[in-house]
Amino acid sequence: MLVRVLYHDHCFDGAAAAAYFTRFTRERFYPGADYAYTGMMHAPNQSFDEALFDGDENAIVDFKYAPTMKLTWWFDHHQSAFLSPEDAGHHHSRASEHHFFDPGYRSCTKFIADVARERFGFLAPDLEDLVHWADIIDGAQYANAKEAVEIAMPATKLVLVIEGAKGSDAVQRIIRLMQTKRLDEIAADPDIRGIFEPLYARHLSMIDVIRERGSANEGVVFFDLVDLGIEGYNKFIPYYLHPECVYTVSVLHASFRTKISVGSNPWVNGPLTHNLASICERYGGGGHPRVGAISLPKDAIDDARRIAAEIVRELRTA
């Protein structure tokens, strides 16, 4: 028997959610099953290919809803969980007892852990640290920018590997290790360390790049990394460099998309003036109230720069 798990790729919470889901359902529903993982990335005009759902049971964790009867399990906490009103209608009309959505959760991992405990009586005390860190990382609850940017702890080392590794192999190796190993054991794994070292060197150089390119005005940091062709950067670097700023807007040009990222400073007190998911939804993107993104086709660089400039203007007039 095969359980196929689609998870949010290159995201610590996505990996931790896949690991927790596996422990929970293997122990409660599918003992002896094989689990296979498919990393999902947000893409422009995304729809789900039915061929993705090739398991005897199919699950999506930490990623948007797929309107297919093959989807047995679904857990998500993103405000933008439905691609269309039709998808939301499909979800509501199907009313599956194994589909769970709560945008009030900071992490999908904590959401799965709570549902597994409350509805199914499942406990995994050895994974409490994993749940704790998924909630800190996905909820941007680090104590300060230094903790998030200086990468001294096992959890933040794994964030760097998960977000920066090419392809999905390293992430899926971590998903399998997370089911039984502590985070410090995983970070010390020789294969994981081998991936970490060059990414860490690049992380240090990204701090310099963002220091040089970032323009901070009226509470908004903006930078354009299109020419670097990088997949991403540690999203707390702008607030490490500009602690007084509230928002960051950036443009990236990565392997399969042009991406506008819109984030907020988690160490600024008080409510924000804007819902960033709602701003991004206007341009076909999405996310959470405090962090959002818009993915455009790879050749849409001019559009991406225009949209980024509009969002910068909107946030600066806050």
DSSP 66-86: ---TTEEEEEE--TT--SSHH
Judging by DSSP bridges, how do beta strands 258-264 and 220-224 pair with one another?
unpaired
Place of tokens 């009103």: 85
Q: How far is the CB of 107 from Mn ion (least distance, A)?
A: 6
Q: How far is the CB of 77 from Mn ion (least distance, A)?
A: 6
Query: Which of 42, 257 has the CB closer to Mn ion?
Result: 42
In the region spanning residues 131 to 170, those forming contacts with Mn ion, defined by CB under 5 A, are 138
Residues from 24 through 83 that contact Mn ion (CB under 5 A): 62
Please give the structure tokens belonging to residue 34.
């094989």
Q: Which of residues 112 and 187 has its CB atom nearest to Mn ion in the complex?
A: 112
Listed ranges 8-16, 214-222, 232-240, 302-310: which one lies at the site for Mn ion (CB under 5 A): 8-16
Question: Is residue 9 part of the contact set for Mn ion (CB under 5 A)?
Answer: no
Select the residue interacting with Mn ion from 6, 7, 12, 13 (CB under 5 A): 13
288 closest CA partner among 85, 141, 151, 145: 141
Q: How far is the CB of 175 from Mn ion (least distance, A)?
A: 14
Q: How far is the CB of 214 from Mn ion (least distance, A)?
A: 26
3-state class (DSSP) for residue 290: coil
Q: Which is nearer to Mn ion, 17 or 237 (CB)?
A: 17
User: Which of 127, 155, 94, 161 lies closest to 21, judged by CA?
Assistant: 127
Nearer to Mn ion, 1 or 43 (CB): 43
Residue 189 CB partners (closer than 8 Å, separation 6+):
177
CB 224 within 8 A of CB 277: no
Residue 148 to residue 106: CA distance in whole angstroms: 17
Chain residue at closest Cβ approach to Mn ion: 13
CB of 105 to Mn ion, least distance (A): 8
For Mn ion, how many residues bind (rule: CB under 5 A)?
A: 4
Nearer to Mn ion (CB atom), residue 17 or residue 279: 17
What x-and-dash track marks residues 108-127 binding Mn ion by CB under 5 A? Answer: x-------------------
The minimum distance between CB 277 and Mn ion, in angstroms, equals 13
Paired tokens of 119: 């509805």
| Paired strand residues for 34 | 2
Taking contact as CB under 5 A, which single stretch among the options 5-13, 18-26, 111-119, 244-252 is the one that binds Mn ion? 5-13
Q: Which residues, 6+ apart, have CB-to-CB distance to 51 below 8 Å? A: none
- Gap between the Cα atoms of 170 and 258, Å rounded: 23
Write out the residues near Mn ion by the rule CB under 5 A. 13, 62, 108, 138
